[in-house]
Amino acid sequence: MSIRMSAVLGACALVFSSACDTTSSVDSADLSPAVVTSPLTLAPNAWQVDFTNPGTSAATAVDMPIDERVIDAIDAATTSIDIAVYGFDHPAITQAVLRAFSRGIAVRFVGHGDELATSNGLKAIQQAGVPMVLRPSTALMHHKFLVVDGHIVAFGSMNFTTYAADQNDENLVFADSAELATVFGGEFNQMFAGKFGAKKVARAVRPTVALDGGSVAVHFSLKEDIVMRLCEVLASV
């Protein structure tokens, strides 16, 4: 049979379709996140998802490698890094961005204007000269995604903040796909040109991207009706 999973991630929606073997079974214990310390390594068209595990208090939280995955991707960059994220104050991620910029990587940042006053991370990369476009405070730039070297993409619910990584229930999907990077890159380029919300130009083509195990369709607000698309997926189950 075919299984379709949908998620709303920041200001975009993801629809994943794959084949499913109905004879297999999954033990509920297998669904608990495991602590994985290996660096981010992805084959072409491969993907993985990482979760935070904050526990019920600071004492019971588990330090998951989700923020280290982001740092791995940034440190491995050889040509370009585009970051679109609402919250940005994670010290180690900030330092990774500064390292990349200092070694000549073309770094660009899109964020939300109100965050600049309180975010040490935003202030640090702005002072370093990282090209930055911030959406005015009339509405939110609520994306959380990263595109590296035109083929590595990270996207999901997690802001690049210590609070998100250590205290919130969050997720990030990491994928190695030039086609998926082109999709997110198009969204980034519009915002970097100052086109937010209703000012964005609707995409004429909304491709489905093949990844290992299935395919992914990405939809962006506001020019695309994410709610209607999710309703269509739910109605088809």
Which residues carry out catalysis?
A: 142, 144, 149
- Looking from the CA of 119 toward its CB, the CA atoms found within 13 Å total 27
Provide the 10 A C-beta neighbour count for residue 28: 6
User: Collapsing DSSP states into helix, strand and coil, what is residue 145?
Assistant: strand
Phi-psi region at 213: left, alpha or beta (left = phi > 0; alpha = psi -120 to 50): left
Q: Which residue has the tokens 């297998």?
A: 30
Residue 215, both tokens: 């395919």
The two beta strands, 47-51 and 12-19, are unpaired
Please tell me the distance from the alpha carbon of residue 22 to that of residue 24, in angstroms, as a whole number. 6
Longest dimension (CA), the chain: 56
